[in-house]
Amino acid sequence: MAARPAPYLDDLNPAQRRAVEALDGPVLMLAGAGTGKTKALTTRIAHLLNTGRARPNEILSVTFTNKAAREMKERVGRLLGQTVEGMPWLGTFHAICVKLLRRHAELVGLKSNFTILDTDDQIRLLKQLIVAENIDEKRWPARQLSGLIDHWKNRAWTPDKVPASEASAFNHRGTELYDYYQQRLKALNAVDFGDLLLHVLTIFQEHEDVLAQYQRWFRYILVDEYQDTNVAQYLWLRLLAQGHRNICCVGDDDQSIYGWRGAEVGNILRFEKDFPGAEVVRLEQNYRSTPHILGAASGVIDANQGRLGKELFTDLPEGEKVRLIGHWDGEEEARWIGEEIEAMAGGTRGMRRVGLDEMAILVRASHQMRAFEDRFLTIGLPYRVIGGPRFYERMEIRDAMAYFRLAVSPDDDLAFERVVNTPKRGLGDKAQQKIQVMARSQGVSLADGARLLLQDKGLTGKGATELRILVDAIARWNDAVRAGEGSHIELAETILEESGYTAHWQNDKTPEAPGRLENLKELVKALEQFENLQGFLEHVALIMDRDSDDDGAKVSIMTLHGAKGLEFPAVFLPGWEDGLFPSQRSMDESGLKGLEEERRLAYVGITRAEEICTISFAANRRVFGQWQSALPSRFIDELPSRHVEVLTPPGLYGGGYGAAGMAASASPKMQQEAGSDLHERAASSNVYNSPGWRRLQARSAERPVSQPRENRNMVIDATAVSSFSEGDRVFHRKFGYGEVQGVEGDKLDIAFEKSGNKKVVAKFVVDAAN
């Protein structure tokens, strides 16, 4: 076969080239962030195709996300200068396994049209089993069992393979329930996510002929982000590769961040044992980040023990130091980042103009996104949330908001429907139907219908008692809203408490529950910026409206976990505070495992940045109306000072102090709580000894001590009072033309010609007088 030109090889360094050209036999590429692992892997696919070693459908290549799979396919096409038709086996483990399982479903007792349950379905099913077994579901919640079963599946343990050491799990009933659950799934012709891989693994293990068929078929196997594979995935790959041994895995032990989901970084170490004679390629040149960014990242990850250890260098120009800035609180952090992004996008930051698409905010916990989303909507900064719902679209937030809506207007039937049986009140479909029928026949709202139904004794038993409690509570909340007395924040807390909604998540023992509670706290925090619940609900309605606005350039907001493998010219890393990042859980744990995984996450975060990396922290976060002071993250102390520039927070925001202000100008109580400790930490930390930091402290000390802004009533933007007045004709992108009926601060009451009366923030409308 005549060798075809392979110009794409010229773009590689010698080590990458070796990894690409070593087409036969096992290859392990073990290298730090940004060294071109993914690029080499992609080029390898192109090379396999170009040299005729394999057809597109004979290459199995596993990526971590669907997005990564799409990008990889595109890149292969670009390398070859043509679109690549049909690479059916390029995708995530899940996507690949669905296809395999559909072909061979009967081998594990399923039909090929099986359904895939999502987490909610899975939990509902487990709940049924638990109840049927007469187990107290309150003490032994279905979510806990679901977590346990996932954990076992990640380790490739089918019910018969769960080891005896797990026998005490879930009150000694775990294995048994797992078995029932699998039987039930089979009867339903259904699988859960974990089953996708596990069933295929079982098929491979029990049917040699099927395995042999795929061992021949997949002539080449490639795996990206190998450090985050779990045991089941590892065994699956090993079986497939055992024949020809043409497997190429790339990974970075320093970026292993899914240990909590069963990933085993040890898989990297086992590779050479399982595939003796493997070509091990190490890459050391980083092509992504400037020396300062790389230096900062290396400084942090150096603190981890038991690393394989890698040196990284870069030829890129020195660039900016990593920027570090402290803020008074989370809201101010969001303001500052918003302004910084605008300045960078406008080219007024003294550096090159950075497009919105080139910027990302990477958070540790998804509840951190709320402050940014609110702020960006307020100033009209386009953003997208990647890898999950936006804050106000999350299930627990929608539930909580439905309660608030009922408090403001008890006639809101959609809200009533959403929460009438959330948390569970024994008001199933039948009871709800009765309420509907009553409401419809009397032409009243569901809440009133419920009241009538109770009067008529149309509902009895536990459901009736609970329903009475609910409708009475709604009436009480509504009275409170109408009286307009007292704090709406306290009212919101009362609502969440009296409805049983907070307790519902507190009693929930699953891994997601703490996150949902955090989000609820965050929701209450969001209320602080509004005068009342109505104002807040309007704000959110506006937010949701602007959702689908346009497809232009946007800033990305995502979690650190979701940012793996990606890169951006400018990256913001907010919330670097002990307890948030590293997470409280990892700090409470005995041993270093959790903390080290957090540190790897910090490494992943910093190494996403190409040119500008900005780390920030807030001195205070308000949680349920209480100030909680926070200490800068211990990872900040680990940043080598020569790679860091401490920025001075601007005093622009009517009392905006720097983080040092926490010690210097916070309330006496807060000083007591955190001040001394901060000073101690400050004295020992190289960052705090930098000239910039001392300047910052000096500035804050000069500022008169003021009250913490407990009653800060900064509705949107104190300065953004509307310039419109009654009678003005205006235009809104979404609602069209309208006439201003009233002005309240920066909000306008507008009668729109097509969409009726609405309150909108003045920023979103333009004068349409002419």
Q: Which residues are annotated as a binding site?
A: 31-38
681 binds ligand ATP (CB under 6 A): no
Q: Is 224 a catalytic residue?
A: yes
Q: Whose Cβ is closer to Mg ion: residue 330's or residue 565's? A: 565
Q: Which of 224, 331, 396, 610 is catalytic?
A: 224
39 binds ligand ATP (CB under 6 A): yes
Under 8 Å between Cβ of 536 and 401: no
- Whether a cis peptide bond, with omega within 30° of 0, leads into 423 is yes
Secondary structure of residue 651 in the 3-state scheme: coil
Bridge partners (DSSP) listed for residue 71: none
Closest CA to 191 of 231, 239, 153, 244: 153
33 binds ligand ATP (CB under 6 A): yes
Contacts of 350 (CB under 8 A, 6+ apart): none
Q: Whose Cβ is closer to ligand ATP: residue 11's or residue 133's? A: 11
36 binds ligand ATP (CB under 6 A): yes
Spell out, one character per residue from 91 to 130, where the chain touches ligand ATP: x when CB under 6 A holds, - when not: ----------------------------------------
Q: Whose Cβ is closer to ligand ATP: residue 291's or residue 565's? A: 565
Under 8 Å between Cβ of 49 and 17: no
Q: Is 677 a catalytic residue?
A: no
Beta strands at 729-732 and 736-744: parallel, antiparallel or unpaired: antiparallel
Q: Whose Cβ is closer to Mg ion: residue 39's or residue 622's? A: 39
Closest CA to 296 of 627, 11, 686, 28: 686
Identify residues 549-578 at the interface with ligand ATP (CB under 6 A).
Answer: 565, 567
- DSSP 8-state symbol, 85: P
12 binds ligand ATP (CB under 6 A): yes
The Cα–Cα gap between 408 and 532 comes to 10
Bridge partners (DSSP) listed for residue 645: 323
Spell out, one character per residue from 286 to 305, where the chain touches ligand ATP: x when CB under 6 A holds, - when not: -xx-----------------
Q: Is 521 a catalytic residue?
A: no
Give least dist CB 709 to ligand ATP, A. 40
Q: Which of 255, 290, 502, 607 is catalytic?
A: 255
Secondary structure of residue 545 in the 3-state scheme: helix
* Residue appearing with tokens 């039987």: 183
- Pick one of Mg ion, ligand ATP, none as the site partner of residue 288 (Cβ within 5 to 8 A by kind): ligand ATP
Total binding residues for ligand ATP by CB under 6 A?
19
- Which one of residues 20, 26, 31, 38 is an interface residue with Mg ion (CB under 5 A)? 38
Question: In this chain, which stretch among 328-336, 557-565, 729-737, 751-759 interacts with Mg ion, using CB under 5 A?
Answer: 557-565
- Which one of residues 195, 252, 374, 493 is an interface residue with ligand ATP (CB under 6 A)? 252
Closest CA to 323 of 699, 665, 612: 612
Q: Is 38 a catalytic residue?
A: yes
Neighbours of 631 (CB within 10 A): 19
Contacts of 573 (CB under 8 A, 6+ apart): 361, 362, 605, 606, 613, 614, 615, 616
> 3-class secondary structure for 34-46?
CCCHHHHHHHHHH
Annotated binding-site residues for ATP read 31-38
Q: Which of 150, 192, 225, 611 is catalytic?
A: 225
CA angle 145/148/154 to nearest 5° reads 140
Q: Is 160 a catalytic residue?
A: no
Under 8 Å between Cβ of 28 and 274: no
63 binds Mg ion (CB under 5 A): no
Q: Whose Cβ is closer to ligand ATP: residue 13's or residue 436's? A: 13
3-state helix, strand, coil in the chain (%, to 5): 50, 15, 35
Give least dist CB 70 to Mg ion, A. 15
685 binds Mg ion (CB under 5 A): no
Give least dist CB 46 to ligand ATP, A. 13
Identify residues 563-622 at the interface with Mg ion (CB under 5 A).
Answer: 565
- Which one of residues 6, 9, 13, 365 is an interface residue with ligand ATP (CB under 6 A)? 13
The Cα–Cα gap between 279 and 277 comes to 6
Question: In this chain, which stretch among 32-40, 101-109, 456-464, 695-703 interacts with ligand ATP, using CB under 6 A?
Answer: 32-40
378 binds Mg ion (CB under 5 A): no
- DSSP 8-state symbol, 579: B
Q: Is 578 a catalytic residue?
A: no
Strand order in the sheet with 765-767: 756-761, 747-752, 736-744, 729-732, 765-767
36 binds Mg ion (CB under 5 A): no
- Which are the catalytic amino acids? 37-38, 224-225, 255, 608
Q: Which residues of this chain interact with ligand ATP, rule CB under 6 A?
A: 11-13, 16, 31, 33-39, 252, 255, 287-288, 565, 567, 607
